[in-house]
Amino acid sequence: MYMSWQTYLSDHRERFIQELVDFVSIPSISALPQHKADVRRAAEWLTARLSSAGMQNATLINTAGHPAVYADWLNAPGKPTILLYGHYDVQPVDPLDQWVTPPFQPQIRDGKLYGRGASDDKGNIIATVQTLEAILRTAGQFQVNVKCIFEGEEEIGSPTLGPAIAEHRDLLACDHIFSMDGLQWGENAAGILVGLKGMAKLQINVYGPSTDQHSGLFGATLQNPATALAHILAALRSPEGKVLVDGFYDSVRPLTAQDRAHLAAVPFDPAAVERTTGVPALSGEPGYSPLERMWARPTLDVNGIWGGFQGAGSKTIIPATAHAKITCRLVADQHPDQIADLIEAHIQRNTPSGVRVTVEKSSGAYPFLMSPDHPSNLIVRDVLTTLYGSAPYYVRVGGSVPVYAVFERELGVQPATMGFTLEDEQLHAPNEFWRLESFDKCQLAYGLLLHKF
Ligand SMILES: [Zn+2]
């Protein structure tokens, strides 16, 4: 019997790194049909690895798409149950010629393991599974019931995870969810994810005459669809960025004093954003700091406008149509369908006479907001504070991750995030890598987490 799980981890480090290499070698690219069998092979590899770690009931959960992997250890009666989440699928690898070494022939250089999926998210998964093994082989048990769900479709937006979870609600029932698909703030600073934005999507079509018309003959008597569209768009948003759609902010949860303090504590340099984006000045909704706007306030953006003559020189027409695509980034508790309806109504109210307007709405995404003081986040904060020697920042992301809303909706549990990926690790890009230092941190973190119960 080993003295401790930490000793076990360091004694088996060479084998464990080789396992990371083996796992990353499987090209489990979920987006590409020609890799379907590889995705399944990665799922089977992971299922076998969970069993050899001492986890029980390791099995594939078949879905309409790529399978998910499940395993559990439920021998702590009366104790809480935690569900560990990650994804074993990876992004495509092109442009292939920009990789220094082939994406599925992982290589270690300068303490970093290079290969597709090393950082996002296979490294976090294998490190955690190895920690489960270390604890089971040393202590013989956990102080808590443990379930694992690793999906194979995160990189394509988790299309079948929702139905799969709904179908296996009892199997996956739990008190806490910890996602290992997440970032730390930096090598020496930790972060806890508390918010993600949702999304609403629309296309506006403005129709005037049935074909383009001569502006000299008809210009004074026909409404111009392109000009009408400009009026419609101007009515949606102030020049600074405040959304003018009636009711748009009604369901937005206001920032609390604690939220604002947490956001103000995060290091942020507006001048650096101006430099990297090449703009003369930042802009956005008045009354909020740039970081508050980026992470915690909703937006409305025109993503594209087209219509009329686009060629060289001029063409004197009244165009028949004009179009625009719009997306909104939403925050809690905005509902994507309700926001799309409000925008449509606002567009109809602000359409000049003489044109017909249609609005096409496509399916959106729900925002996610979790209290910093949620019991799962308190555990993560304890672990990260021990690991980094300082308190983590509370961070948010302006993007959307569908799986968070899926867990919240289907299992009634908000997932806390504790992953050890860093932003500079070429995620989704050539030469993705993971620091072996993060490998050790991840193992230690999940070992500490399991001992918090
Ligand atoms: Zn990921």
Distance 423 CA to ligand 1 centre (A): 12
Checking if the pLDDT of 322 tops 70, the result is yes
Measured in angstroms, how far is the CA atom of residue 230 from the centroid of ligand 1? 39
Mean pLDDT of the chain: 96
Cross-strand pairs, 417: 179
User: Rounded to the nearest whole angstrom, what is the distance from the C-alpha of residue 421 to the centroid of ligand 1?
Assistant: 9
421 close to 434: Cβ distance less than 8 angstroms: yes
Q: How far does residue 427's CA lie from ligand 1's centre (Å)?
A: 8
Cα 119 to averaged position of ligand 1 atoms, centre (Å) = 8
What pLDDT score was predicted for residue 399? 87
Name residue 201's beta-bridge partners: 327, 362
Q: What percent of the chain has pLDDT over 70?
A: 100
- In this predicted structure, what is the pLDDT of residue 400? 85
Amino acid at 286: P
Token pair for 106: 């992982």
Cα(286) to ligand 1 centroid in Å equals: 33
CATH class entry, domain 199-255+290-365? alpha beta
Residue 136 CA to residue 55 CA, distance in Å, equals 9
**pLDDT given at position 346:** 98
User: What local confidence, expressed as pLDDT, does residue 401 receive?
Assistant: 84
CA of 182 to the centre of ligand 1 (A): 7
| Structure confidence by residue, pLDDT tens digits, 66-81 | 999 999 999 999 999 9
Please tell me the predicted confidence (pLDDT) of residue 14: 97
Say how many Å lie between the CA of residue 366 and the centre of ligand 1.
18
pLDDT tens readout for residues 212-254: 999 999 989 999 999 999 999 999 999 999 999 999 999 999 9
Separation of 188 CA from ligand 1 center, angstroms? 21
Q: How far is the CA of 123 from the centre of ligand 1 (A)?
A: 11
**Distance from the alpha carbon of residue 202 to the mean position of ligand 1, in angstroms:** 27
- What is the Cα–Cα distance from 210 to 208, expressed in whole angstroms? 6
Q: How far is the CA of 181 from the centre of ligand 1 (A)?
A: 5
Question: Ligand 1: distance of its center to the CA of 171 in Å?
Answer: 24
CB of 39 within 8 A of CB of 152? Answer: yes
CATH number of 5-195+367-450: 3.40.630.10
- Expressed in angstroms and rounded, the spacing between residue 113 Cα and the centre of ligand 1 is 17
CA-to-CA dists, residue 279 to 17, 242, 270, angstroms: 44, 19, 11
Distance 426 CA to ligand 1 centre (A): 12
Rounded to the nearest angstrom, the distance between the alpha carbon of 87 and the centre of ligand 1 is 6
Question: Count of residues for the chain?
Answer: 453
Query: Band of the pLDDT at 3, cuts 50, 70, 90?
Result: confident
Distance 79 CA to ligand 1 centre (A): 30
How much distance in Å is there from the Cα of 418 to the middle of ligand 1?
A: 12
Q: Where are the domains of the chain?
A: 5-195+367-450, 199-255+290-365
Residue with tokens 């609600």: 169
Ordered strands of the 356-365 beta sheet: 299-307, 321-330, 198-207, 356-365
pTM attached to this predicted model: 0.92
In this predicted structure, what is the pLDDT of residue 2? 52
- For residue 309, the tally of other CB atoms under 10 A from its CB is 13
Q: Which two tokens stand for residue 255?
A: 């920032």
Q: Give residue 214 CA to ligand 1 midpoint distance, Å.
A: 53
d(CA 442, ligand 1 centre) in Å: 15
Interval between CA 250 and ligand 1 midpoint (Å): 33
Q: Quick one: pLDDT at residue 1?
A: 47
Task: Give ∠ CA 126-129-135 in degrees, rounded to 5.
Answer: 140
209 C-alpha to ligand 1 centroid (Å): 48
**Ligand 1: distance of its center to the CA of 368 in Å?**
17
Rounded CA-CA distance 274/263 in Å is 19
Q: What is the pLDDT of residues 409-436, one digit of tens each?
A: 999 999 999 999 999 999 999 999 999 9
At 343 the pLDDT is 98
Strand 368-369 and strand 356-365: the pairing is: unpaired
What's the gap in Å between 205 CA and the centre of ligand 1? 36
Q: Ligand 1 centre from 183 Cα, in Å?
A: 9
pLDDT, position 219: 85
Distance from the CA of 96 to the center of ligand 1, in angstroms? Answer: 20
